[in-house]
Structures are given as structure tokens and as C-alpha cells.
Structure 1
Amino acid sequence: MPYEFDDAIVAVPETGGIYRTPIIGGWDIGVNANGGYLMARAAHAMRMASGRRDPLTVTAHYLAPALAGDASCVTEIVKSGKRISTVVATLRRDDRELMRLIGSFGEVQSESTAHYVTATPPDLPPIEECVARRNQPTPIPMGIAQRVSLFIHPDDAGFSSATPPGVGRMRGWFSFADDRPIDTLALLLAADAFPPTWFNIFGSQGWVPTLEMTVHVRAVPAPGPLRCSFTTRVVQGNCYEEDGEMWDSNGVCVAMSRQLALAPLVAT
């Protein structure tokens, strides 16, 4: 039986580097497709165009909200080297550009001659002691919350009961609801699957649109859920940044992310 995520990112090659990439409903926030899903959806077509196994780094600029429906991904190989291929792409619906991306693809190395890590995984309670995102009240429908399993650190879950802690932080466990193994492409989804850190500063206020997001894939995840942590330090100019780390069951940092998001207009 196919996994839901694989069905949702199917890319059918056409001609001239164009892939048919429909945006599937159920991976959305309200009526708008989730930004991490859109990145993974386009990156799959880019990966196919590159002929490589893994996304190494992908940057996306979000140009318009994307609703479920037909779409295409137009890819172009910028450079194809011995180890890395760089691809640019646009995700389009008819004549409207929804997002523009650039990414480098290759094979993530599990071993290296140099090793230096001072970062540590987030300290999370066991999953059964965390708060299931799908059970939290939300101001708008959250289709994506039924596709992934998010369990939020109790200290970071107060936003859903109108008691945000006032700290720009969101921590928790990530996996797929249908137990799909987490591969390097799924890390792009995980980077944007959690509630915004904004909610824990100012409260839950609906859809927080992403302007730009970059994900660096650092390792192939070991089996099991990811430990995830997202933090914000600067909110100003109606924008804020969100820095993410994703760690696998072996305590390896498998991905890092940064996004710039637009503050909800209702914020004070």
C-alpha cells in the first residue's frame, strides 16, 4: 500500500524539464498548502531532473498561496558535476508562478574524515507525555495535522489554550501518521510541519505565511521519529525568522533550516 506522502508528491515527467506535479489536498493549513509540503513536492521533481538521490540544500521563495489542484514544476539543470547537481525550478499553475526554488542534489555522506558537533538534540519528554497536535483546537482546519504525527513538548503547547509561554520556541516529535519511513526528502516537510514559533510568543492567530525557507540536509535519518526544535530571536518589521534543527533516533543532526515568515496582520 503506497504511503500518503509518496502519493502526494508524484511527479510525472513531460518534455523540456517540465513535470506534472498536482498539489494534493489534505496537506494544507486552511485552504493553503503547507510550505514544507510544497518544497518537498517541487524538490522531488528537481531530484528526478538531477538524477541524484538526496537534496543537500534547497531554498524556496513563496510567491503566492497554493491551493489544491493542477500544477507543474519547470526545472533547469544549472550544473551537473561529479558529485553534485544544481537545479533551479518554478512551481506554476497555468501562467501564475507559485514558488521559485534552487537546490543542490547528490548523496548525503554518512561518514566523513572531519567531525565537529557542539549542538545537542532537544530535551524532550517521551512521546506519550507530549501533546498530540491533532488533538489541539485550531482556529482554522489543519489537514496536515492528520497526515503527520506531531507531539509537542508540554512547555511549548500552551498557545492552543490561549496561554502562550512568551518564548520563541517550539519543540516536539515528528513522524508520519501512516508510519512512512523518514528519508531525506521528508526532512523538507518536517522543517515546516510544526506550529509557528510565533504562536508561543503572541498566541495562535491562524495562517502565518512563509516568505523564504532554506533546508540543509546533513545526514540520512535512522529509523524512528525525529526530535525537532525551532527557535525565534528577532521579531521586527512585520517579519520573524525561525531556525530549526531535526535529530534522528541515533542523536544525529539530520537537517537544519531557516525560514523568514510574515507576521499575521492581526498581531499587536
Structure 2
Amino acid sequence: MVFMLIFGMCACGKKEKAKEAAPDLVLELPKEKENSASDSEETVSGMDEATQNEDIPEKKGILIAIDPGHQAPDVDMSAKEPNAPGSNVMKAKATGGTSGRYSGIAEYELNLAISLMLREALQNEGYDVIMTREDNETAISNAERATMANDAGADIAIRIHANGSENSSANGALVLIGSAGNPYVGNLYDESNRLAQDVLDNYCAATGMANQGIQVNDTMTGINWSKIPVIILEMGFMTNQQDDLNMADSAYRQKMVEGIVSGVNEYYQQ
């Protein structure tokens, strides 16, 4: 009996020592949880950074000049300037443009609205963009607009305009470029023509506008002062009911911009 009691006491003593030693086995658990939380934060942070990087388009290294044609008529641009470098032909520095016969929207307002949308869309594609004006009160002549694009080192220039006619049935989109025989920009004809074709075809495909083709015109100051491929996109006739109301619609404007961007992409893929 005494032996059993002593043995039992010894056994209990061993168990108590084992219990006292047991906590050493779990002391590291909280540290493991802290490390796990820290690792998770770093992982989430890394994922956020990766997501942000995915949202940033890869730069193409291409600078595009966008010229929203005309400006508000209260900006006096009636003074004359040479129609081309060294030319004796003088033209008004700029004009207010036409207006929507049915929408009531002024051309200079439409041109700027589309140009601002176009800038964002092109930047989302990785292009760099310079605007000749960002509001309707900027006093800048047609020659100065072309010079701005030249001096900025732009690769191409897209001049955004809308058409008008006394004939309300006239409709559709067209592009103006300088001719091959133009003494100022004749050397740019091939590239300007290729850009014009790509933009016009894609624009008309996206919008359903009638394609009125490419027309050469050597009287445009903004073309004659250019040193880079340049086009004037006449987006539609503001004097035609269907064209005018289409160009006033926000969803349709998105199609207009998408068409221009597709044309630019095609131009640079060739």
C-alpha cells in the first residue's frame, strides 16, 4: 500500500512536470499568425499594384495633334495671316464655323466635344496627345495651330471639323488633304492620303455615315503650314437633319470617336 501510494505520487509529479512543459510547444503559434497576416497584406498590396499597372496602357511613343476646328465667334480672329509660309495670299486667322440646323449646336462646340473624347480614347490606346485648344475661348489662328503641332514634334495631325451646305440633302463624311502638287505639303501627300483613307473608312464603318471620299484642297491654311501628315475630317453635315441629329447624340458620338481611333490604329499597324 505504501509502495503504491509513493508510486502514485511520483507518477502525479511526472504528469505535473509534463503539463508545465507543454506550453513551450505552442508559444510560437501567435507569431506564426502575425507573419501570416503580414504576408497577406504584402500579397494584397502586390495585387493592387499589379492591377494598377494593368490599367496603365503601354506607351506607343507616338504623339498625335488634335485640332478642334474654329472657336467661339466672340473671339475676334478676323485679322489676316498668310495662307502658307511665304505666301502673299491672306486669309482670316480663324472663323466660327457652321452650326446645326436642327440641333442648334455650334460647330466649334461639336468639334471640341468630339476632340476631348478623342484625346481620352487615344490616350487609353497608349498614344500621347497634344490639343491646339481645350476651350472655346482660345485665340489661336490656323497657322498657329499647325505650328504648335510642328513644334511639339507631333507625328500626325487630325483636324476635327463638321460640314455645312445650302443643300440640306448633302450628307456624309469626307476628308480633306493637300494635293501631291501642293508646293508646301506635296511631300506629305502619300502619308496624309493613307491616314485619310484609314480614318475615313473606319469612321464610316463605325457610324454608318455615307463615305464621300477624300478630296484634295490646297487653300487650307492649317494644312499648308503643316510639316507632318495632316488631315481634316469633316465628320458630317450639320445642315442635314440625319447627320446633325446623329452627331448631337452621345451614344453616336462614342461611335464617331471609336471609328477615328480604329483608323489611327490601322494607320500605325501598316
TM-score normalised by the chain length of structure 2:
0.25
Larger Cα-atom Rg: 2
- Structure with higher helix content: 2
- Structure with higher strand content: 1
